Amino acid sequence: MSALDSVQVKNLARGCAFDLAGITTAEPPDEAGYFAEWLAEGYAGEMGYLYGRRAELRADVRTLLPSARSVICLGLLYNTPPPYSTRWSAEDRGWISRYAWGTDYHEVMRARMEELVRRLRALATFEWKICVDTSPVLERAFAQRAGLGWIGRNTCLINQQIGSWIFLGEILTSLELEPDSPAPFRCGVCRACIDACPTQALVPTGKDEGPDYALDSRLCISYWTIELRGPIPEQRREQMGPHVFGCDICQDVCPWNRRAPVTAEPAFVPRAATPPLEALASITEEEFREMFRSSPVRRARYSGFLRNVLVAMGNSGDAKFVPALETLSQRDDPVVREHALWALQRIRLPQAVAS
């Protein structure tokens, strides 16, 4: 065992303003097998970065840090005051997922994790690697095993006290620390997230062991609006509603989030939650980069984000968007042009029928 013990590590983590901290071993989690099955089912869609070498790395974190003996799992609350997508309606505005309302959490998490490592290294010598989402780590599986929460049917990590609005990060370390007990599954027979999903993206696995539901990304609004490059399948566009970046429905309806506390982190104060669609449709690529500087929204890229805005405009059915849509239907970008024409047709067809 190291000179540092698990209690000290977790206390130092809380001193760095993490809301959750737990420890587990670096042994591969059972979910590594489930993840391989998930990929084999094609549920990752076109997210090619999840396959190949990165899939192998996810199976065992010791390929990232051969000396790893423990994983320090950390959680940061990002819940903010309402609105919530399931109790909100404004047809001239778009919905941005709650996790992207403030500063990109990767920057916030990494800075705090680096500070935690500095404090730990003042007390002990060890090797380490910081992992914040972009590293190939099965972070929810490790977090569950470290006692931070359980993986719900919505596939999010859920903590009994603070719900599922949680950013996760891990520090792989050569320290040999006493692991925490895994968190038990507490969803019971609840299927609120399954029933609320407008695209039925949470699909039964049909397996006796492991999770009973999985996320089929190919049916997920978050996947379409963030990860998918190119056109959104036409038969799926109506289901997107006002979503222009991500989707919160499966978390908004979760009973464990009813009493979720609000974050005290200034970086997560909302900057953009429900922006006006007309304003979004008029921004240039340079304005897009500036508007969403230090924001996860940039992941969608300008063309993809504009595509999402056009679908939301079409779904609104509001004729006031017609001039903007006509302008955008003349763009050189074939994806933007296609979705602008689709939105125009969606708005004009009911009008033509009514007349």
CA 262 to chain centre: 18
Indicate whether 19 belongs to any domain: yes
Indicate whether 232 belongs to any domain: no
Indicate whether 141 belongs to any domain: yes
Is the pLDDT assigned to residue 354 strictly greater than 50?
A: no
Indicate whether 254 belongs to any domain: no
Indicate whether 153 belongs to any domain: yes
Q: How far is CA 138 from CA 29, 36, 130, 351, in A?
A: 8, 11, 14, 49
Average pLDDT for residues 62-67, to the nearest whole number?
95
pLDDT confidence of residue 208: 84
State pLDDT tens for residues 131-161. 997 788 999 999 999 999 999 999 999 999 9
The answer to whether 252 is a known catalytic residue is: no
State pLDDT tens for residues 99-113. 999 999 999 999 999
Indicate whether 236 belongs to any domain: no
Is the pLDDT assigned to residue 261 strictly greater than 80?
A: yes
Is the pLDDT assigned to residue 58 strictly greater than 80?
A: no
pLDDT confidence of residue 355: 43
Is the pLDDT assigned to residue 55 strictly greater than 80?
A: no
Q: List the one residue out of 334, 321, 144 whose CA is nearest residue 231.
A: 334
Q: What is the maximum alpha-carbon separation in the chain?
A: 79
Q: How far is CA 258 from CA 130, 255, 285, in A?
A: 32, 5, 38
Residue numbers of the domain that contains 124: 1-79+102-220
Indicate whether 333 belongs to any domain: no
| More confident of the two residues 59 and 198 | 198
Domain count, the chain: 1
Secondary structure of 75-94 in the HEC alphabet? EEECCCCCCCHHHCCCCCEC
From 5, 92, 133, 318, active-site residue:
133
Indicate whether 322 belongs to any domain: no
